[in-house]
Amino acid sequence: MQPLGPAWVEVDLDALEGNMRRVRRLIPRSTLVMAVVKADGYGHGIREAAAAFLAGGADWLGVADLWEAEELRRANIDSPILVFAPAPKLEKFSLSLNVRSTVCDLETARALASLARRHGKKAKVHMKVDCGMGRLGVLPAQAGDFAGQLLRLEGLELEGIYTHFSQADDVRRTRRQLAVFLEVLSSLKARGIHIPLVHAANSAALLRFPPSHLGMVRPGTVLYGQGAPDLFPTWRLKTSVVYARVLPRGHRVGYGGEWKASRPTLAGVVPMGYSDGLALEPQRSPLRQLLGALQGFVCARPAGWTSGGQVFFLGRTSMNMASLSLPKNYGEEAVELVARRTTISRRLPKIYFRDGRPCYAIQDGSRWSIIERDGVYFRLGRLPD
């Protein structure tokens, strides 16, 4: 048996599927759901997240680029996939994966159409309109001419049109952006242009602004347990404490000595750092410093918790280590850290749970059967992909 390592991610597959079912109940049955699984399924594992969401009722999948789409196709996932980022000069790759491409410029659209004609196929595309995000998409005033040019390209099928909200938790701003998008659709209708699939709502708009649901919604963060109180938690980052001791009053910790103990403090070291995705600098807002001072810390910031209570980062995070304050009644249990899921290193093993029990792990790109002994996970045999 080989230990998985001192730090790991726990993913609840039942929670992913359950959140999808809850989202499905929030919208009309006629409205399609595109589950967004970009950035390795928001750190959960793109294959596992996609399979769980499809089992929970998702109709489509959304990915950032063609390489993510390829990974899903290699996993024998054959559902419709929209690639959000345009892919100039990669038209052949796109066509071979049978995905829907986002188009924002004629040059890419023409290249894709030409390739599709040569292979006797139709390349399905979704046209993106920039209604205020300022990132990708044709401007609203140009949308009518652009759509007309796309429809004249033999080998291309204009299947969808969409936009993206820049601040979907602000209903007034979302209402303004949606009004711009709907005006684009009206102008297309006046030209006799009908595009079958219309979509705009991300997670926040789906939850807060039902008029944005249209023909399809694109939930992302909400599927991973964020943004609504009745969702299931799906992801936990845990690590062992490899060294602990009581620091005397006045002792400093970390590069630059930015944290100083204002009282004797039980401090521990965990084998994770900024190379694993943890933040480098302490938070320096006045409120954070005030809260830290009230708790006897200087430049401390919340890190996570154990069964004994909350823990804090002490000073700067190093490359492979971080220092934490530990509660007085800390035992030897793992610490659960709060971290941005998409920044956590894919080198960390992921342990997948069903019915509250660990069923397998992914490490070094392979699936492993596992066993837990005294709080430590060990990998056994390699499993087929």
Would you name the residues annotated as active-site residues?
Answer: 38, 255
- pLDDT value at position 228? 85
Do 145 and 219 sit in the same domain of this protein? yes
Query: How many residues are present in the chain?
Result: 385
Which of 224, 250, 275 is a domain's end point?
224
Mean pLDDT of the chain: 92
Structural domain contains residue 163: yes
Summarize pLDDT for 260-287 with one digit per residue, the tens. Answer: 999 999 999 999 999 999 876 544 445 5
pLDDT, position 282: 46
3-class SS string, the chain = CEECCCEEEEEEHHHHHHHHHHHHHHCCCCCEEEEECHHHHHCCCHHHHHHHHHHCCCCEEEECCHHHHHHHHHCCCCCCEEECCCCCCCHHHHHHHCCEEEECCHHHHHHHHHHHHHCCCCEEEEEEECCCCCCCCECHHHHHHHHHHHHCCCCEEEEEEECCCCCCCCHHHHHHHHHHHHHHHHHHHHCCCCCCEEECCCHHHHHHCHHHCCCEECCCHHHHCCCCCCCCCCEEEEECCCEEEEECCCCEECHHHCEECCCCEEEEEECCCHHHCCCCCCCCCHHHHHHHHHCCCCCEEEEEEECCEEEEEECCCCCCCEEEECCCCCCCCCEEECCCHHHCCCCCCEEEEECCEEEEEEECCEEEEEEEECCEEEEEEEECC
Summarize the confidence of residues 132-149 as an average pLDDT: 95
Contact 162, 200 (CB under 8 A): yes
Which residues share a beta bridge with 234?
A: none
In a domain, 172, yes or no: yes
Q: Average of pLDDT values for 316-343? A: 92
Whether the pLDDT of residue 385 is over 80: the answer is: no
**Per the domain annotation, does 352 fall within a domain?**
no
Provide the pLDDT for residue 83: 98
pLDDT on residue 167: 87
Looking at residue 280, what is its pLDDT? Answer: 63
Check whether 340 has a pLDDT greater than 60: yes
Residues 304 and 189 in one domain: no
> Which pLDDT score, from 0 to 100, does residue 220 have?
96
pTM above 0.85, yes or no: yes
User: Is 258 within the bounds of a domain?
Assistant: yes
pLDDT digits (tens, 9 = 90+) for 48-81: 999 999 999 999 999 999 999 999 999 999 999 9
The pLDDT score that the predictor gives to residue 291 is 52
127 and 267 share one domain? no
CATH of the domain at 288: 2.40.37.10
Residues 56 and 16: beta-carbon distance below 8 Å: yes
Domain boundary (224, 250, 280) is at 224
Say how far apart CA 235 and CA 277 lie, in whole Å: 15
Answer yes or no: do 18 and 62 share one domain.
yes
Tell whether 137 and 264 lie within a shared domain: no
pLDDT of residue 284: 47
CB contact at 8 A, 311 and 304: yes
Q: Has residue 362 got a pLDDT over 60?
A: yes
What share of the chain has pLDDT > 90, as a percent? 80
pLDDT on residue 281: 54
**Inside any domain, residue 347:** no
Residue 340 covered by a domain: no
| Residue at 343: amino acid letter | T
Find the domain containing 282 and state its range.
241-333
Other beta carbons within 10 angstroms of residue 133's beta carbon come to: 15
Do 56 and 144 fall into the same domain?
Answer: yes
Q: Are 262 and 297 in contact (CB under 8 A)?
A: yes
Q: Would you state the pLDDT for residue 116?
A: 96
What is the count of structural domains for the chain? 2
64 CB-contact burial (10 Å; exposed 0-12 / middle 13-18 / buried 19+): middle
**Pair 205, 260 in one domain:** no
Kindly tell me if the per-residue pLDDT of 361 is higher than 60: yes
Q: Is there a single domain that holds both residue 177 and residue 315? A: no
| Chain center to CA of 312 | 25
pLDDT at residue 296 tops 60: no
Q: Which of 38, 39, 29, 139 is closest to 81 using CA atoms?
A: 38
Q: Are residues 248 and 184 in the same domain?
A: no
Asked if residue 248 and residue 301 are part of one domain, the reply reads yes
For position 41, what pLDDT does the model report? 97
Residue 73 in any domain: the answer is yes
Residue 306 predicted with pLDDT over 80:
yes
Check which CATH number belongs to the domain holding 163 and give it: 3.20.20.10
Would you say residue 234 lies in a domain?
A: no
Q: Quick check: 293 pLDDT over 50? A: no
Average pLDDT over residues 306-313: 91
Residue 214 has pLDDT above 50, yes or no: yes
Residues 304 and 260 in one domain: yes
Is residue 161 located within the same domain as residue 296?
no
